[in-house]
């Protein structure tokens, strides 16, 4: 869910960059059968004053309720387990789904299971591998990464060196730029021995794998949660793995992607006609999660426009308006990060979606919004 660079990382606009057609291969055993074509500065802020509500009324500012501190060293979420969501299609869930407790998937094929993402820590990735290979169809030979963030790719290293790792063409460069920086945020997490293992096969827009007679489609939908987001669609099972573009029960997070791009991506996700949605974190859902996510993001845009008009900062806007109807979502401090991204898109419309932003600085404001406490990571 999060890649934290030691410094801001700029990524070119993937919608306009020229990339040669065809998957890029570094080895492995995947059989692609179809490849489609390519389908800010500082601003002065005023102190917080009265803000305008959705109904146009003036409402007083308010601060969010602060929550009790949580020791990540004392609490650990249980290891995840597989849930069969359709014939031969499994979701690997890690409740409750907050920071670094990412979901994964296993799609059974004749040559072994194909995995969607690989978890944040070595022990969790090894648990995922054991569960997938316990399905009885052999070893994992193919891994798909939905995006570059460490909680979805750090576990790549526990699989056989000959395994094929597939991702969007932006994923490898983003992984190399950020490295293992996520570990520095939560040093109490038992990360285990991890090495960065980038993708060996990449694509620009879409790609289809054949698992026997079953097609599995990969589609780039970013910038959304990140610039290189892909979704994995199993059409015969009507199952969609969304990565972090959809997070059922968790707060959406667009800091390293785009609010506007996320709204466009949701329209594309709806068009698949999925019956089962496996988000990058959180519970198994249906397509209703797309509407829930859109409502949240529309509020972000509304608050950002209000904050820009009032001349106040994203953090001040978050404190003035609070969580609204979304206080029950996990990791609510992401409100600040989402507002920063929305502010940038409003104030600098000439920039490409997913443009460079000061991720470490914004994360510091998220901590400040959280009462000065680092958000809990139970991985």
| Domain count for the chain | 1
Q: Kindly report whether the global pTM for this prediction surpasses the value 0.75.
A: yes
| Residue 9, domain member (yes or no) | no
pLDDT of residue 136: 85
Q: Are the CB atoms for 235 and 247 separated by under 8 Å? A: no
Instruction: Examine residue 24 and state whether it is found in any structural domain, yes or no.
Output: no
Q: Is residue 38 part of a domain?
A: no
pLDDT at res. 194: 98
Give the domain CATH number at 173.
3.60.15.10
Residue 221 lies in a domain: yes
Contact between residue 334 and residue 253 where contact means Cβ atoms under 8 Å apart: yes
Classify residue 246: in a domain, yes or no.
yes
The per-residue pLDDT string of the chain (379 residues; one tens digit each, 9 = 90 and over) reads 566 543 333 333 222 222 333 444 443 333 333 333 333 333 344 333 333 333 333 333 333 333 333 444 458 999 999 999 999 999 999 999 999 999 999 999 999 999 999 999 999 999 999 999 999 889 999 999 999 999 999 999 999 999 999 999 999 999 999 999 999 999 999 999 999 999 999 999 999 999 999 999 999 999 999 999 999 999 999 999 999 999 999 999 999 999 999 999 999 999 999 999 999 999 999 999 999 999 999 999 999 999 999 999 999 999 999 999 999 999 999 999 999 999 999 999 999 999 999 999 999 999 999 999 999 999 9
Contacts of 333 (CB under 8 A, 6+ apart): 251, 366, 367, 369, 370, 375
**Helix runs in 218-353, H state only:** 259-271, 288-310, 314-321, 334-347
Does the residue 295 lie in any domain?
yes
Provide the domain limits for residue 347: 51-59+70-369
263-to-25, 298, 357, 366 alpha-carbon distances in Å: 32, 8, 19, 23
Within-domain flag for 14: no
Q: Is residue 247 one of the residues assigned to a domain?
A: yes
């Amino acid at each position: 869910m999060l890649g934290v660079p030691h410094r801001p990382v700029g990524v070119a606009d993937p919608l306009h960059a020229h990339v040669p057609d065809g998957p890029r291969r570094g080895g492995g055993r995947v059989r692609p059968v179809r490849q489609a074509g390519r389908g800010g500065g500082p601003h002065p802020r005023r102190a917080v004053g009265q803000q305008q509500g959705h109904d146009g009324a003036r409402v007083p500012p308010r601060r969010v309720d602060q929550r009790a501190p949580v020791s990540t060293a004392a609490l650990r979420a249980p290891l995840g387990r597989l849930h069969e969501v359709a014939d031969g299609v499994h979701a690997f869930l890690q409740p409750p789904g907050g920071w670094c407790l990412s979901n994964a998937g296993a799609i059974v094929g004749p040559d072994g299971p194909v995995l969607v993402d690989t978890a944040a820590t070595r022990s969790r990735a090894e648990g995922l591998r054991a569960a997938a290979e316990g399905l009885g169809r052999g070893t994992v030979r193919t891994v798909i990464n939905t995006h570059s963030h460490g909680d979805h790719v750090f576990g790549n290293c526990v699989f056989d060196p000959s395994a094929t790792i597939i991702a969007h063409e932006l994923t490898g460069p983003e992984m190399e730029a950020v490295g293992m920086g996520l570990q520095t945020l939560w040093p109490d997490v038992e990360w285990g021995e991890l090495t960065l293992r980038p993708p060996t096969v990449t694509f620009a827009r879409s790609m289809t794998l054949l698992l026997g007679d079953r097609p599995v489609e990969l589609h780039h939908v970013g910038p959304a949660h990140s610039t290189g987001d892909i979704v994995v669609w199993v059409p015969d099972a009507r199952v969609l793995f969304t990565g972090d573009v959809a997070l059922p029960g968790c707060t959406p997070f667009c800091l390293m992607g785009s609010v506007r791009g996320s709204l466009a991506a949701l329209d594309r996700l709806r068009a698949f006609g999925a019956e089962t949605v496996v988000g990058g974190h959180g519970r198994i859902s249906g397509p209703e999660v797309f509407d829930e996510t859109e409502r949240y993001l529309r509020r972000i845009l509304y608050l950002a426009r209000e904050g820009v008009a009032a001349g106040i900062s994203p953090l001040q806007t978050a404190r003035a308006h609070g969580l609204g109807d979304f206080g029950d979502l996990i990791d609510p401090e992401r409100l600040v990060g989402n507002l920063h991204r929305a502010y940038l898109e409003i104030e600098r419309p000439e920039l490409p979606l997913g443009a460079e932003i000061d991720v470490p600085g914004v994360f510091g404001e998220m901590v400040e919004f959280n009462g000065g406490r680092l958000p809990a990571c139970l991985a």
